[in-house]
Every structure is written in C-alpha cells, then in structure tokens.
Structure 1
Amino acid sequence: MYLENLVFDAVDPQLLGRFWETALGCEQLTDEPAGYETRLTVEGGPVLDLCFQRVPEAPTDPPRLHLDLVGGAGQGDVVERLLGLGARHLDIGQGDVPWVVLADPAGNPCCVMEERATYADTGPIAALPLDSADPERDAQFWSWLTGWTESPRLAPRSLRHPSMKGPLLELCSEPSPKGPAKNRLHLDVRLEAGDDPDGVAAGIAERGGHELHPGWGELPWRSYADPSGNEFCVLPAPA
C-alpha cells in the first residue's frame, strides 16, 4: 500500500484545483465537471495527486488536516505570491507565531512556514498536519498503512516517505474530538498488486480503525476511519 491522494471537498473544484496546481507547481491530470486532479512529483520521493471533488455545500467544521507550505528564507515572497493567486490572510487565534496563516480561495487554512531543518527536501508542501486523539497510536497506524517511517519532528509524531523526501505527515494532538461531519480534506491509500482488500480491512480494524458505509452506492474503493475518526479511502490495486 502507498499514499496516493490528498482529497479536497470543494464547491468549485476547478477554482480550487487551479489555485493549488499553480501554487505548488503541479501537473494537471483531469478536468471534469465532478472534479479536478493535479499531480505533485517530488524528485526522488513520493508522487501525490491532489484531487478536488465537487460537494453541494462548503464545509464549515474546523479542518483536521491542512497543508503547511515551505517558506523559509523566502517566506514573505511565498505569501505574496499566494495572495496574488487568490489566498487571503486568516486569523485562527494563532497569535504571535513565526509562520503565516492563510486561507485558500475556498477558505481552507494553510500555513507558510519559517525556516526549519526538518523541511529539507520536502518540495513545496512541508507537512500535512493531521489531528489525532493519540499521536503515538495513530503514527503506528499510518506507518503500517502507508509504509512511511519515523522522521525527526516538532509535532508529537511525524512520518515521512521512505526516501526521506517529500512532506511530513505530522500527527498532532487534537484540540477537540472528531465531530460527525466528514473531514473537508482526507487521504487516499492505494493497494498494490497482491494486496488482499479483506486482509487490509482486517488489519485496519485490528489497529483501531473501522470501515465506513456511507451509502453512496457501489464504488471501486472502500471508506474507512482511522482510530481518531479521520476518514480515508483505500483504492483498488491498478489494473
């Protein structure tokens, strides 16, 4: 299994997809009425597809997953560039911090980070912070699920692609428990040839996750929640 997608719920997938495609220097994959997809390739590291799927209403619950972007010595220039693409400054009560909090055109928070040695070789996305009720437990869960490994960190636990390139997946102590609303951003994992879908489902359950049955009809993927309730999908192996 491997981490393949970062999925955004969006009222206007084209608007949001083109913003992030330009912001991150991605390559467009698809542009269809129901969604937009673009690909981020980290040289020598992971390939992540950003998928923007249409939803009828804008999400309102606080996000449990967001993007931290590389700023470093050029932090101010990065901020100005994103503002020029349609982002805006956002106050979420962060106070006096060395990073800059912005909202993308759909209102999703993102941060432009200061210089940190741990962000070497990440590419434009420094980290993917994910809220967790138990970072130690959830780091073990996501490491098993994705094959990503422990990385030096500032967050309670951080994982990274085995190449030690690309963004960190940071398991952060949640400010409040997961509510009933679906996360506005979620991750997708792809099975590889030879992976047994039912065996993977059993492994997820053994590690504290569970399968979801949202009633969306027959789909080629299966939906799950991690031990802290964060939704993710397991996609079938490539044909």
Structure 2
Amino acid sequence: MSGLAGVALESERPRDTAAFWSALLGGTRSRSRNGDELVHLDSGLSLWLLPSSAPKTAKNRIHLDLAGGADARDQAAVVDRAVRLGAVHADIGQNDGPRPVPWVVLADPAGNEFCVLEPRSEYADTGSLAAVVIDVADPHGLGRFWSAAIGWPVVREHPEYVSLRRPDGRGEWLELLRAAEPDDPARPSPRCRLELAVPDGPAGLTDEAERLTGLGAVRRGAGRLTDPEGGLIELVSTS
C-alpha cells in the first residue's frame, strides 16, 4: 500500500517558493532526483515545488490549512509572518456569504492559495500544517477511495466534508471539502497533485497502480493516475 508522501504545487520560481514554505512551516529543504525542490515537514509529509506547466487561472483544487494557534493573537501572528515572508491576501469569495469567515485566505509567492485557520481544538497537536484540503464534488465517495488508497481511517464526517488522519492520530489531516455541484464536479488543476510513496521500486509502482485502479483510479501514464473525480496522483518510488 502506498502512503501519502506529499503535495505538489507548481510555481514559476520553485526555489523561491520552497524557501517561503520552508521558512513558514519550519521544514528542511532538499532536491529530488530530477531536481524538484522539496520541503520536508516534521510529520513526514513533503511539499514538492515544481516548475509551472501552465499559467495559474483559477483556484487550486488542493490547498493547505495552517494551524492558527491557541487564540486570535496567534492566528494574527501567523498571518503577519506569512505576509512578511512574501504571501499576499487572496479573495476567493470567502466573504460572499452573510457573515465573514473566521479564517484568513492567503496565497504564496506563486499564487497557490492557503488558509490560516482560527484556533480549533482538533488541530492543536498537528504542528504548523493542520490539513491538506481537496475540493471535491462528493466528499463521502472520495473519502472512501482515499481511506482505502492510503490506509488513513475516516475520523470525522459531515454533509459538506470528510476528514481522514493517520492511524496513529499524528500529523496533519486530509480533508475532502464539498466545493462543486454534483453535475459540475471540481476539475483537477494541472498545478497541484498528491504524491504517493511506493517502497518497492518499479514492480511496486506497477502493482500499486493496479491496486488503485481497482479502487476507482484511472491510469494516465507511467506512475501517474487520477482519482475517481479526476484529481492528479503521482506514484513515487522510495527504493
């Protein structure tokens, strides 16, 4: 079974964007075998900063939620620090409703959106990164797929979202958020995807691709698939 290795985000300046995320989240940096910029977090998750393949024209399908700390002053401090490092405030319609939302939406230097959450008890022990969030049409259906794909149980269900977490209850959450009507499913962005680690080399990549296909994924090439709603998945060998 593959494990969630990381989140890939594209950037016109991957090195600068990696420096931003490393400073903001406290991760260490390295490069992959093919030169991609990586930021390694204490939880074991990595951010992959890749050269952009297309201009950014719409909100990413995947975004990061940062923990806001214990009170409003902590949240404001995280926002201020992010802005000092190069983030900008972003408007994705978060305040179009009758009441303003309590979280703050920002974008990294490449325009990739992320949120700084208001204090929430469920994220008190996650570290700087509270959750990886995917916009989906069917949170419950895709939640079953991802739970089977990476072995993380569903720990919270709501009509509008589903939350998964590692079996040991550590680290960031994976959350699937309803963000499209059933007849207009969320479209995958070419600028973001999930990276899944496979430990058994080329043979393992083939076997894992076959297993994920049996769960509902679709093959798109060597080591690349899409989930049942079209979200990009990259299989990465760790051996």
Matched, 1:172 2:177: yes
Q: 1:151 aligns with which of 148, 151, 155?
A: 155
4+ residue stretches of structure 1 with deviation over 6 A?
A: none
CA-CA distance at 1:16 after TM superposition: 0.6
Matched, 1:210 2:213: no
Superposed CA RMSD: 2.2
How many percent identity over aligned positions? 35
Are the structure 2 counterparts of residues 28 and 199 from structure 1 closer, same or farther at C-alpha, using a change threshold of 3 Å? Answer: closer
Matched, 1:138 2:142: yes
State which drifts further: 15-24 or 138-147.
138-147
CA-CA distance at 1:89 after TM superposition: 1.0
CA-CA distance at 1:100 after TM superposition: 0.6
TM-score, normalised to structure 1, is 0.86
CA-CA distance at 1:32 after TM superposition: 9.3
Matched, 1:71 2:72: no
CA-CA distance at 1:201 after TM superposition: 2.4
Looking at structure 2, the residues matched to 182 and 129 of structure 1 have their Cα atoms a distance apart, in angstroms, of 14
Three-state SS of the structure 2 residue aligned to 1:51 is strand
Matched, 1:93 2:93: yes
- In structure 2, the partner of 1:183 is 190
- In structure 1, the partner of 2:19 is 18
Looking at structure 2, the residues matched to 121 and 153 of structure 1 have their Cα atoms a distance apart, in angstroms, of 20
Q: 2:167 aligns with which of 162, 167, 183?
A: 162
Unaligned 5+ runs, structure 2: none
Deviations 1:92-137 (A, max 9, x none): 1111000011111111111100111211211111111102222112
Matched, 1:61 2:72: no
State which drifts further: 27-36 or 62-71.
27-36
Are the structure 2 counterparts of residues 115 and 3 from structure 1 closer, same or farther at C-alpha, using a change threshold of 3 Å? Answer: same
CA-CA distance at 1:178 after TM superposition: 3.5
Instruction: Report how many aligned residue pairs link the two structures.
Output: 226
Unaligned 5+ runs, structure 1: 214-220
Looking at structure 1, the residues matched to 58 and 35 of structure 2 have their Cα atoms a distance apart, in angstroms, of 22
Looking at structure 2, the residues matched to 135 and 232 of structure 1 have their Cα atoms a distance apart, in angstroms, of 17
